């Protein structure tokens, strides 16, 4: 099987990170604001991944907020499909060619998972704080777009 090419400007946020971005803020919001502030950085998500996040928001807040969030995120994401039963975040990263997966799930971020994923998937799994601390928009822009970094080009909270 040929290895899928990853794009360093494609990011997947697990359901826990998507919900935390909306409901808590903090590192999840900081990481996703960095994504939303740049039109050339793409948030990749499958329908099952968004379903999971929407269910978390509905359970922790309310269904109206969950529906409104889902409507907004639909316009922001790059949609991908994957087989039923696949881990929604991992499958989104694989199918969408994402180089980064943001998650609070220790099982995705431990050394064993890293070794297993590394043999099948070229993705870096980080906490939102880890991603936000390492995200260098100017360097990434130079690598994926070329030229001088013009700065953020969209409203992160738009």
- The domain limits of the chain are 7-140
Cβ atoms within 10 Å, residue 52: 19
Which pLDDT belongs to residue 110? 56
pLDDT > 60? residue 35: yes
Which pLDDT belongs to residue 123? 85
Is residue 1 very low, low, confident or very high in pLDDT (cuts 50, 70, 90)?
very low
Please state the rounded mean pLDDT for residues 87-112: 86
Confidence (pTM) = 0.90
Which pLDDT belongs to residue 157? 78
Token code pair at residue 47: 């329908």
Q: Confirm if 143 and 99 have CB atoms less than 8 A apart.
A: no
CATH of 7-140, one of 3.40.50.10890, 3.40.50.1010, 3.10.310.70, 3.40.190.10: 3.40.50.1010
For tokens 């199918």, the residue is: 95
Which pLDDT belongs to residue 24? 97
Is residue 120 very low, low, confident or very high in pLDDT (cuts 50, 70, 90)?
low
Q: Confirm if 90 and 101 have CB atoms less than 8 A apart.
A: yes
């Amino acid at each position: 099987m040929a290895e899928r090419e990853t794009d360093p400007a494609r990011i997947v946020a697990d359901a826990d990170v998507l919900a935390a971005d909306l409901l808590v803020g903090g590192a999840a919001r900081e990481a996703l604001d960095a994504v939303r502030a740049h039109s050339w950085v793409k948030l990749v998500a499958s329908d099952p991944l968004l379903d999971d996040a929407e269910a978390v928001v509905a359970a922790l807040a309310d269904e109206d907020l969950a529906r409104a969030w889902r409507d907004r995120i639909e316009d922001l994401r790059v949609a991908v499909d994957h087989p039923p039963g696949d881990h929604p975040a991992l499958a989104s990263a694989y199918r969408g060619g994402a180089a980064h997966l943001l998650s609070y799930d220790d099982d995705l971020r431990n050394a064993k998972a890293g070794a297993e994923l590394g043999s099948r998937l070229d993705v870096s799994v980080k906490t939102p704080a880890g991603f936000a601390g390492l995200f260098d928009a100017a360097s990434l822009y130079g690598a994926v777009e070329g030229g001088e970094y013009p700065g953020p080009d969209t409203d992160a909270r738009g």
